[in-house]
């Protein structure tokens, strides 16, 4: 084997070995602060609603595993995620329809927006879905949704599918019988956070998250292994600004206002979803009383020792 006589020869030797010298990388491996990859963005329920209704006419739940519309972050090259580790979607189930039972390693949760009469069955426990409720579907739990009522039912799904894509432990299977055979109706369940209970807890809360809201409650500790949930009440005016290594999605349960992320202002109203990617300074400006659900991958960062937060 001849010894390379020039740097170029040396580098082509490395290339042939599928290696690279740390001192002449094409792309850096380390940098001083988090990059700005995913973009701040907002999806408006008022625009999605008619699109979901059109899908309701054209796409059956027989044909589609789920009638869901996922929110793709407009960051260049992104194919699926809403922020790095999380995906959000709007889902609609019409009267008489069933979204069959399946299970997967991604964790999921739902925030109900509109419609009564739908249930979700999670590992054999059937719970009603009512507007404002937050319902959890942990890793590998069977789950199906059934609309036995007379109203179209709309909700928001949040899943850690992109985190599973990054780490690759993806498993998914359909229930062999379509639906679970043994089902018990339950009103109270550790996977169900009811709107009236959340409102009451919020009314008693003195936790203002260091000035990031008027009051907040945490649902679960955390709600799911990878996902933290905070219901936050905002009063008219601006919150303090904060940045964190964690990613967040905010869903608007009540009220209107805007979220300022860096120099981008994202206006919002009921049912909208706001993407606040990692390490971007953000603050909320509510037009009056408002209630948001913050869905965040913070538990991942806490467990791994990478959570950094600053309030300005």
Q: How many Å is the Cα radius of gyration of the chain?
A: 22
Q: Does 67 bind ligand GTQ (CB under 6 A)?
A: no
Instruction: Compute the C-alpha angle 124/126/132, nearest 5°.
Output: 135
Give me the count of residues in the chain: 312
C-beta closer to ligand GTQ: residue 105 or 238: 105
Selected from 143, 194, 280, 284, the binder of ligand GTQ by CB under 6 A is 143
The Cα 137–Cα 158 span in angstroms is 10
**Max CA distance (Å), the chain:** 79
Selected from 43, 52, 61, 68, the binder of ligand GTQ by CB under 6 A is 68
State the binding string over 8-47 for ligand GTQ (x if CB under 6 A, else -).
Answer: ----------------------------------------
The Cα 224–Cα 139 span in angstroms is 8
Residue entry with tokens 């791994």:
304
| Minimum CB distance to ligand GTQ, residue 91 (Å) | 5
For 180, what's the count of Cα atoms within 13 Å in the CB-facing half-sphere?
Answer: 20
Q: Which two tokens stand for residue 277?
A: 């990617």
C-beta closer to ligand GTQ: residue 225 or 289: 225
Q: Is 105 exposed, middle or buried (0-12, 13-18, 19+ CB in 10 A)?
A: middle
Q: Does 159 bind ligand GTQ (CB under 6 A)?
A: yes
Q: Does 119 bind ligand GTQ (CB under 6 A)?
A: no
| Minimum CB distance to ligand GTQ, residue 280 (Å) | 25
C-beta closer to ligand GTQ: residue 109 or 212: 109
C-beta closer to ligand GTQ: residue 161 or 290: 161
Q: Does 165 bind ligand GTQ (CB under 6 A)?
A: no
Selected from 61, 91, 118, 216, the binder of ligand GTQ by CB under 6 A is 91
* Ramachandran quadrant class, 22 (left: phi over 0; alpha: psi -120 to 50; beta: rest): alpha
| Minimum CB distance to ligand GTQ, residue 15 (Å) | 41
Q: Does 66 bind ligand GTQ (CB under 6 A)?
A: yes
H helix or E strand, kind and range, residue 266: strand 264-268
Interface with ligand GTQ by CB under 6 A: which residues? Answer: 66, 68, 89, 91, 99, 108, 143, 157, 159
């Amino acid at each position: 084997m001849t010894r390379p006589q020039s740097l170029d020869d040396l580098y082509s030797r490395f290339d042939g070995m599928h290696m690279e010298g740390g001192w002449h990388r094409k792309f850096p491996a380390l940098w001083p602060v988090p990059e700005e990859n995913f973009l701040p963005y907002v999806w408006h329920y008022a625009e999605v609603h008619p699109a979901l209704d059109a899908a309701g006419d054209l796409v059956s739940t027989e044909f589609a595993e789920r009638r869901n519309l996922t929110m793709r972050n407009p960051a260049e090259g992104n194919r699926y995620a809403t922020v790095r580790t999380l995906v959000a979607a709007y889902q609609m189930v019409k009267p008489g329809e069933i979204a069959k039972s399946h299970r997967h390693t991604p964790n999921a949760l739902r925030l109900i927006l509109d419609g009564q009469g739908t249930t979700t069955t999670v590992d054999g426990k059937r719970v009603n879905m009512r507007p404002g409720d937050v319902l959890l579907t942990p890793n590998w739990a069977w789950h199906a949704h059934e609309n036995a009522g007379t109203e179209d039912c709309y909700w928001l799904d949040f899943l850690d599918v992109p985190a599973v894509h990054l780490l690759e432990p993806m498993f998914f299977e359909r229930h062999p019988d379509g639906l679970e055979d043994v089902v018990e109706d339950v009103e109270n369940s550790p996977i169900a956070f009811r709107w009236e209970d959340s409102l009451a807890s919020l009314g008693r809360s003195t936790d203002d998250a260091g000035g990031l809201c008027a009051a907040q409650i945490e649902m679960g500790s955390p709600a799911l292994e990878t996902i933290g949930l905070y219901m936050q009440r905002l009063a008219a005016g601006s919150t303090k600004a904060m940045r964190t290594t964690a990613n967040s999605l905010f869903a608007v349960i009540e009220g209107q206002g805007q979220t300022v992320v860096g120099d981008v202002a994202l206006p919002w109203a009921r049912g909208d979803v706001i993407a606040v990617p990692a390490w971007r300074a953000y603050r909320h400006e509510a037009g009056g009383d408002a209630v948001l659900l913050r869905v965040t991958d913070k538990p991942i960062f806490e467990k791994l020792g990478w959570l950094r937060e600053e309030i300005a």
